[in-house]
Amino acid sequence: MKQKNPAWTWFVPLLAFGLFLVALMTGVGPGLALLCGLGLGGAVFVAVHHAEVVAHRVGEPFGTLVLALAVTAIESSLILSMMIAGGQDMAVLARDALYAAVMIICTGVVGLCLLLGGLAHREQTFRVEGAGAGLAALIVLAALTLVLPAFTTTTPGGTYSPSQLVFVAVSSAVLWGIFVFVQTMRHRDYFIPAANSSDPEVHAEPPTNGQAWASFGFLLLSLGSVVGLAKLLSPTIERTVAAAHAPRAVVGMVIAALVLLPETWAAVRAARANRLQTSMNLAVGSALASIGLTVPLVVLASISFDLPLVLGLAPKEMSLLAVTFLVSAITLGTGRTYVMQGAVHLVLFAAYLFLALVP
């Protein structure tokens, strides 16, 4: 690993933060919106670089946990800020964003990693003990959060009562906490990649403490810029969605896609470098964090500020979610993957996108 970070790794976060400040003071016009969009994309990819520097210093699986936590902080901030600002109109935003995050990760990210990794290395392996346990926890969290609200009878319309919300929030946080304990302490070896990587970065000398702390600071700055720019651009996104006569759920999809860009890029790079274990750590860990951390925060805000919160999915979305989990269980049940499994996941991802736009 290089001893000094290239200039772009510190210049881009500063530029993105500067664009955020300018947009905050002057408003977002068409030209500035384009620049802010470019700045947001640049901040996302720089965040991946700095997260990888930190990950290389602390080692797996702590490195992937750093990025998962950071990205989940972005998602929670965006959802909460838009819920507070939008009121009743944003009652389903958390549901749409969480569902989109799970579908993008379990079909799009996993499918892309398996396909590209299979094309580059023919067949890849990972520890099924870690990925399988994570998937089981994800299925339970998704069922509690996105499925059961549509069937409970205490409150109507896919909602939970306050006591039910508290139960789901506590259960989500506890299950995620247990998974992190297992991942980082109890059974850490289940999540450590095998030493078969073709990526020279993995075998390079780890960065110094000073370099790691500097990257951590720029990681926070980059992610903060992503949050700020995405929030400022959200009205533009909503207007664009409305002008295209697309379903309102597309807003949640856009939020999830924006915040998952860093992890997607990192996961794909790892798969192409024959580190599928790292890709699976990122995919399963980020999906769990999206629910296990976001739901308690959203529930707390909903109860504290008396915000409307609809969590239950419609039957079509439930069906697609069930098929996704069934296919994922088959994919992650063997610990060996090749291009066919990636193609299956990507077809599911295409179906998710198409049916979201053409319900």
* φ and ψ of 313, to 5 deg: -80, 160
- Residue 2: pLDDT above 70? no
Percent of the chain clearing pLDDT 70 (strictly above)? 92
Give DSSP secondary structure letters for 285-303. Answer: HHHHHHHHTHHHHHHHHHH
Across 102-132, b (16+ Cβ under 10 Å) vs e yields bbbbbbbbbbbbbbbbbeebeebbbbbebbb
Backbone angles phi, psi at 189, to 5 degrees: -65, -20
| Length of the chain (residues) | 359
pLDDT of residue 313: 94
Q: Residue 100 corresponds to which tokens in the numbers above? A: 């989109």
**What's the rounded Cα separation, in Å, for the pair 249 and 354?**
12
**Residue 159's closest CA among 103, 88, 106, 102?**
88
Those residues whose C-beta lies under 8 Å from the C-beta of residue 285, and which sit 6 or more positions away, are 61, 64, 65, 68, 134, 179, 183
pLDDT band for position 204 (cuts 50, 70, 90)? low
Asked if 93 contacts 314 with a C-beta cutoff of 8 angstroms, the reply is: no
3-state secondary structure 304-317: HCCCCCCCCCCHHH
Label residue 59 left, alpha or beta by phi (over 0 means left) and psi (-120 to 50 means alpha).
Answer: left
Residue 124 has φ and ψ, to the nearest 5°, of -130, 160
Taking only the tens place, the pLDDT of each residue in 247-296 is 878 878 887 887 787 778 888 988 998 989 888 888 888 888 888 888 99
pTM for the complete prediction?
Answer: 0.83
> CA nearest 1: which of 62, 55, 64?
55
Three-state SS for 336?
A: strand
Residues 299-316 have a mean pLDDT of 90
Interval 114-145: pLDDT, tens: 999 999 998 998 888 888 889 999 999 999 99
Give the pLDDT band of residue 319 (cuts 50, 70, 90).
very high
* CA atoms of 120 and 102, how far apart (whole Å): 26
Quick one: CA dihedral 55, 193, 107, 288, positive or negative?
negative
- pLDDT, greater one: 269 or 325: 325
What pLDDT score was predicted for residue 161? 94
Supply the pLDDT for residue 1.
40
Q: pLDDT tens digit string along 83-97? A: 776 667 778 888 998
Q: How many CB atoms lie within 10 A of CB 12?
A: 23
Domain architecture of the chain: domains with CATH:
8-357 (1.20.1420.30)
Main-chain dihedrals φ then ψ at residue 337, nearest 5 degrees: -135, 155
What is the identity of the amino acid at 293? L
Say yes or no to pLDDT of 165 above 90: yes
336 strand-pairing partners: 125
Closest CA to 36 of 10, 17, 14: 17
